[in-house]
Amino acid sequence: MVEVVVSIDDQHLQAMSSVTDRLREAGMEIDESMEAIGTVAGRIPSEQLEEVGHIDGVAHVERTGTFQVPPPDSDVL
Amino acid sequence: MDISGFGGQPPEDTPTFGIPSLEARTTGNLLVLLPAQAVSDGVAEVQRATGIELATSADFPRGAIEADQLQEANGVVFDQLGVALVRAEPGQARELAAAVMDDDRPVLGVEEERVVYALSTPPPGGRTGSSAPPGEYLRGYRDAVNNLVSNLAPDAGAARVAAVDESTTTWGLQLTGAVASPFSGQGVRVAVLDTGATPDHPDFVGRTMELQSFIAGEEAQDGHGHGTHCIGTACGPRNPEQLELLPAYGVAFAAEIYAGKVLSNAGSGTGGSILAGINWAVTNSCRVVSMSLGAPVPPGQTFSTVFEEAAQRAMTAGTLIIAASGNDSRRSEGIVRPVSHPANCPSIMSVAALDVELQAANFSNGSVNPAGGQLDIGGPGVGVHSSWLMPTRYRLANGTSMATPHVAGVAALYVQANPEATAGELFGLLMRNARRLPLSSIDAGSGLVQAP
């Protein structure tokens, strides 16, 4: 499974649930569907990555990145 | 008297080099500012005060007054601008000045019409005689070089910035103009997406704080310190009675705090948690989001389309996202690294760290990548005093993480001052009003953020 963030296209912003349904059918485990900014976060089987990109209503799919701030005692935070 | 400057020739002793002299030359005509909503009243007033009948641009095809008509008329009004150009005798000029002084009369201002020149670069090759560079140009060149030398030389004489007294307010509050600003962030919701908050910190007793965790298994209570420090800078109290100890350290001291925990107590988060925090902030009408977080971006890599689209949608909904440019650089060794993700998104304002001398901090990233990756603005990011976990209570910290909430706090002040501003206009207000510095825009963007 690959952690991904998905951007919904402008045309489907008001009908996100139809797109998330299709994402689930394609095997995506959805953690969060974010209506205000039109993005979805979750996991996809790596072999499904390309197919998910072609789903109607999906604008972009990216691997989720990680972020790290330094430990509290660091000189630069 | 010719109305020159509109198709006439400049006076004969114009320097042929193309650099205007320091003293503006005037034509003898006057420019009169009329009220934008009552141009015809203004026109009538000018005619009443001076007897001059104004030709109007509205009478001409495409509003273009013919040059010879300009020469013949004693005055014209550019009706789309609400500006009249008049050829006035001294008595008429005095009448116009009197009209300006009277608030009840629809004439807002008068100034002398100036001669303007095209700016041009000097001709290549040798110069002799009448086309030789005039003394003024050479003196200006010398002054610019001297200025450059004094800025670069380590023993440049007097310090660029007078020594700062931090007994009552931090240097960051002073140099951003937050101390002098009449604004407090009252009524503005500011979301700080970080390691959470310390709502029981003595400086925040009685301060309303909305808290939300986006980290599974962890509460919004800050277990790291980073979030507490950033919230302090963006929104900490200013009143000495609300502070355990001076100096005061908060920019938007009356803003409504929305603390989203998108980084764990160990300081880590994912794109999903960050986006969830942004979504929450937008849903709750936070006009400003402060994100002191980022992931390093290698040279040549472009920005995340998913984050860029999220940021655009946030802006459409009225939310401006402000993020740290990152601390991966080592300028003392000549290493400048690209602006981090997601600050490198065009629709996210990226913030550099400046020190008290208004130099770019050693670690502060720069505009390296051509596709996105622009550094937008600078904020105080070295030796920043703010709140920390209890019982430590306060600490000094360095980082673009510290510069970012300064900009976010100032953004909240602009929102209070301009409640109707869109997020795009807010971006513009911050950039336009930044204090320009003798630093490259690659290192400091538009300069040091300045409060309204």
ipTM attached to this prediction: 0.96
* Cβ separation A3–B341 shorter than 8 A: no
Q: Which domain holds residue B255?
A: 117-444
Residues B263-277 have pLDDT tens digits of 999 999 999 999 999
Q: Which of A7, A39, A69 to mutate to test the interface with B (most CBs of B within 10 A)?
A: A69
B31 and B47 assigned to the same domain: yes
Nearest CA in chain B to A5: B272
**Where residue B217 sits, what CATH number does that domain have?**
3.40.50.200
The answer to whether residue B239 neighbours chain A at the CB level (below 8 Å) is no
List, by residue number, the catalytic residues of B.
194, 226, 401
Residue B125 lies in a domain: yes
Judge whether B387 lies within some domain.
Answer: yes
The CA distance from B364 to the nearest CA of chain A, in Å, is 10
- Answer with the one of B114, B135, B152 that is the final residue of a domain: B114
User: Which candidate from A5, A35, A42 shows the least CB-CB separation from B306?
Assistant: A5
Q: Above 90 in pLDDT, residue B282? A: yes
> Around Cβ B147, how many Cβ atoms within 10 Å?
11
pLDDT at B8 over 50: no
Phi-psi map region of B195: left, alpha, beta (phi>0 left; psi -120 to 50 alpha): alpha
Indicate whether B355 and B407 sit together in one domain. Answer: yes
Please check whether residue B223 lies inside any domain of the structure: yes
How much is the average pLDDT of B160-182?
89
Shared domain check, B42 and B103: yes
Write the CATH number for B109.
Answer: 3.30.70
Please give the tally of structural domains in chain B.
2
Cβ-defined contact of B309 to A6 (cutoff 8 Å): no
Is there a single domain that holds both residue B311 and residue B423?
A: yes
Please, are residues B207 and B271 in contact by the beta-carbon 8 Å criterion? Answer: no
Same domain for B335 and B277: yes
Distance from C-alpha of B288 to C-alpha of B188, rounded to nearest angstrom:
8
Residue B452 pLDDT: 98
**Is the CB of B270 inside 8 Å of chain A's CB atoms?**
yes
Is residue B137 located within the same domain as residue B34? no
pLDDT confidence band for B162 (50 / 70 / 90): low
Nearest CA in chain B to A77: B399
Range with the poorest average pLDDT among B110-114, B187-191, B383-387: B110-114
Lowest mean pLDDT among B5-9, B43-47, B85-89, B299-303: B5-9
Whether B21 maps to a domain, the answer reads no
Q: How many CB atoms sit inside 10 A of residue B96's CB?
A: 22
> Do B49 and B129 sit in the same domain of this protein?
no
Residues B383 and B429 in one domain: yes
Are both B49 and B194 inside the same structural domain?
no
Q: Is some CB atom of chain A closer than 8 A to the CB atom of B179?
A: no
Question: Last residue of some domain: B89, B114, B139?
Answer: B114
Is residue B323 domain-resident? yes
Contact status of B224 with chain A (Cβ, < 8 Å): yes
**Residue of chain B with shortest Cα separation from A63:** B271
Residues B97 and B198 in one domain: no
Q: Where among B62, B96, B114 does a domain terminate? A: B114
Same domain, B59 and B163: no
Does residue B335 sit within a domain? Answer: yes
Q: Give the range among A19-23, A30-34, B2-6 with minimum mean pLDDT.
A: B2-6
Is B272's Cβ below 8 Å from some Cβ in A?
A: yes
Residue B1 lies in a domain: no
- 3 state SS of B366: strand
Cβ B175 vs Cβ B164: under 8 Å: yes
Q: Determine contact, residues B185/B209, Cβ cutoff 8 Å.
A: no
- Pair (B186, B323) in one structural domain: yes
| B83-86 and B75-78 strand pairing | antiparallel
Report pLDDT for B17: 47
pLDDT, position B25: 79
The model's pLDDT over B41-63, given as tens digits with 9 standing for 90+, comes to 999 999 999 988 888 888 878 88
Name the average pLDDT for chain B: 88
Residues 180-209 of chain B whose Cβ lies under 8 A from any Cβ of chain A: 194-195
Question: Which helix (H) or strand (E) segment is B228 a member of?
Answer: helix B226-235
Dump pLDDT digits (tens) for A3-22. Answer: 999 999 999 999 999 999 99
Judged by average pLDDT, the poorest of B42-46, B115-119, B239-243 is: B115-119
B16, part of any domain: no
